[in-house]
Amino acid sequence: MHFLHYQQLAETNTEFVIHEEWGQGRSIFGGLTAALVITHIEAQVDLTGRDLRTVNIHFCGATKADTPCQLRHTVLSYGKSVVQIEGQLLQHGEVKTQIVACYTLPRNSSIAVDLPPKSFPLAAGDAPKLAFEKGKLPDFVQYFDLRYTHNNMPYSGSKDSLISGWMRFANPKEQLDNSGILALIDAWPPAVLPMLTKRAPSSTITWNLEFMYPRPTLAIEDLLFYECSAIEADQGYAHTEGKIYHPNGQLLVLTRQMIGVYDKVD
């Protein structure tokens, strides 16, 4: 089932199951579960005129395939300018994905800081696509169009952690919204995996995103540019930091993750 199918289920707030083709190891792809919580929040709460500014995500447990999922939310505060909402995806009454999202109304301010447009190392049309091979890549990757611009593949024993490239859904049908952008960002492997020399499990534990505005218009066929690297790693945990850009070079999103890396068995 395509991403849009699950978005529609999340909007109607019905109980649903996620097929194993969205799997990532023993769990469902975290980018999907987080995106569905955002979809649920935005469908259930009046956020007219408000922009999604920040999302704080905790992956509290593995979301199982073909197991009923429920979504719920609580409005924590609804101020004149800022709304903060908690959302959760649950299975068997247990929280699997927990989110706090912050939405804001634009305000007048004398402060304005603009970064120069990003210069991309390789145009989207020149970047090679990642070919999906079942059994060699997580199943969910089949739904994404990922194009590397830096030859840092997972488990290649690289001396640096940088991962960069262009991204969109494999068969884009609608303009990207907040939940779609969120899912795209998480489609890339953790930025520490290129430094490993053999396969090892890894798992995102917490994830923070900050969205920039005003957001320029995106065409349905547009690809976004992604770059991310580790800023610290030790004792089995890594902290990564990344940026996502519009095709015109404008910064769209900041992303940070704490990742558990299980390359050595205690």
Say whether pLDDT at 57 is over 90. Answer: yes
**Among 146-150, 172-176, 200-204, 232-236, the least confident range:** 200-204
pLDDT at 262: 84
Say whether pLDDT at 135 is over 90. Answer: no
pLDDT at 228: 97
Rounded to an integer, the average pLDDT of 173-190 is 95
pLDDT at 1: 81
Which tens digits make up the pLDDT trace of 65-100?
Answer: 999 999 999 999 999 999 999 999 999 999 999 999
pLDDT at 202: 87
Report DSSP state, residue 145. Answer: E
Which tens digits make up the pLDDT trace of 227-238?
Answer: 999 999 999 999
CA neighbor of 145 nearest in space, from 176, 181, 177, 187: 187
Say whether pLDDT at 265 is over 70. Answer: no
Say whether pLDDT at 264 is over 80. Answer: no
pLDDT at 99: 98
CB 73 within 8 A of CB 85: yes
Q: If you average pLDDT over every residue of the chain, what do you get? A: 94
Question: What structural domains and CATH numbers belong to the chain?
Answer: 1-106 (3.10.129.10), 117-266 (3.10.129.10)
CA neighbor of 251 nearest in space, from 223, 216, 219: 216
pLDDT at 129: 94
The band of 200, judged by pLDDT with boundaries at 50, 70 and 90, is confident
Report, in angstroms and rounded to the nearest whole number, the Rg of the chain calculated over CA atoms: 18
Which tens digits make up the pLDDT trace of 98-125?
Answer: 999 999 999 988 998 888 999 999 999 9
pLDDT at 266: 59
Residue in the structure block whose two tokens are 């430094």: 195
CB 142 within 8 A of CB 21: yes
The band of 6, judged by pLDDT with boundaries at 50, 70 and 90, is very high
Q: For the sheet with 163-169, list strands across it.
A: 70-78, 82-91, 94-104, 51-59, 202-211, 251-261, 237-245, 224-234, 163-169, 144-148
Say whether pLDDT at 8 is over 70. Answer: yes
Which tens digits make up the pLDDT trace of 212-231?
Answer: 999 999 999 999 999 999 99
